[in-house]
Structure 1
Amino acid sequence: MRSLLLVVVLTLTACAQQPAKDDSLYRDLGEQAGITRIVEGMLLNIAGDARIVRHFENIDIERLRDKLVEQICVEAGGPCTYTGDSMEESHKGQNLTPSDFNALVENLQDAMTTQGVAIPAQNRLLARLAPMRAQVIDR
């Protein structure tokens, strides 16, 4: 009986010491609905951006939207699971340049601004997405 009690106490202690997941950025982005609006706004911005729109021709835009929403949700600390391909795989053969990447980021920032996302929250998201740059350019 003592060993069972010890196991229960240790289990409860371990659970209590787990840090809570920080979902503050997810909330700052407007949760699932806000992230969806941001992604849709970004894609609309890209559709009018002559610098990079050619990279989105012949792409299933609905699937891309869904995977981007998942990815941003995960990066923002939300309760989502990313089910898409790796960044390397999804950008293979596209020969994207730093200018292409920067244009996409500008479109994302414009979409966040349109949705009323505060600059500090925008910067937090961009900082979390920045490591993907190396996984996207020249693949």
Structure 2
Amino acid sequence: MRLMTSIVLVALVAACSTKPTQPTLYERLGEQDGITTIVDNLLYELGGNDTLLPFFAKTDIGRFREKLIEQLCQVSDGPCEYTGDSMAQVHAGMGLNDSHFNALVTDLVAAMDEADVATGAQNDLLSRLVPMYDEVMNPDAYLEPGTASQAP
């Protein structure tokens, strides 16, 4: 009996002494509702951005919205799987430069600010998106001939 009591006490002490887990980036962004708000805010920002708006003239905005929500959800460790085209396929033939990229980042930050996303979570999301930079800006290096997407 004494052994059983000792085992139970050790288990209780161990359970009480564990550190609480840190919230995931997905949670810090507000989970699905928060990410949806960020994307909707971004679409609003893009609608007023004369530098970027021409790139979306032939875009299926509904599909763009859906895929961007999926992508941000997956990138932030949420329960989603991105099912869209590769970044190279989506951005092929656009002729993007750093001013376009910077304008999009500025609009994304404004969208997150509008959604009251904490600065730390914003920085964490942006740092997870940085690895996509080269594929977005140099899509031809990532594509086999004939693999560019027709509609982002």
TM-score band, normalised by the shorter chain?
Answer: 0.7 to 0.9
The answer to whether the Cα contact below 8 Å between 1:109 and 1:122 also exists between their aligned partners in 2 is: yes
Cα RMSD, aligned residues only: 1.5
In terms of Rg, which structure is larger? 2
Q: Distance in 2 between matches of 1:79 and 1:138?
A: 29
Q: Distance in 2 between matches of 1:107 and 1:83?
A: 24
Moved over 2 A (4+): none
Cα distance, 1:78–1:54 mapped onto 2, change above 3 Å: same
Match of 1:77?
77
Residue-by-residue CA offset, 1:61-82 (whole Å, 9 max, x unaligned) = 0100000000000000000010
TM superposition score normalised by structure 2: 0.75
The answer to whether the Cα contact below 8 Å between 2:88 and 2:138 also exists between their aligned partners in 1 is: no
Match of 1:50?
50
Match of 2:60?
60
For these two proteins, the number of residue pairs brought into alignment is 119
Q: Distance in 2 between matches of 1:52 and 1:79?
A: 30
Deviation at 1:138, TM superposition (A): 4.3
Match of 1:26?
26
Match of 2:105?
105
Cα distance, 1:81–1:60 mapped onto 2, change above 3 Å: same
Residue-by-residue CA offset, 1:64-123 (whole Å, 9 max, x unaligned) = 000000000000000001000000011111111111011011111000001000000000
Question: Alignment partner of 1:125: what SS?
Answer: helix
Q: Distance in 1 between matches of 2:60 and 2:71?
A: 16
Q: Percent of counterpart pairs with the same letter?
A: 47
Gaps of 5+ in 1: 1-21
What letter matches 1:92 in structure 2?
A
Q: Distance in 2 between matches of 1:45 and 1:134?
A: 24
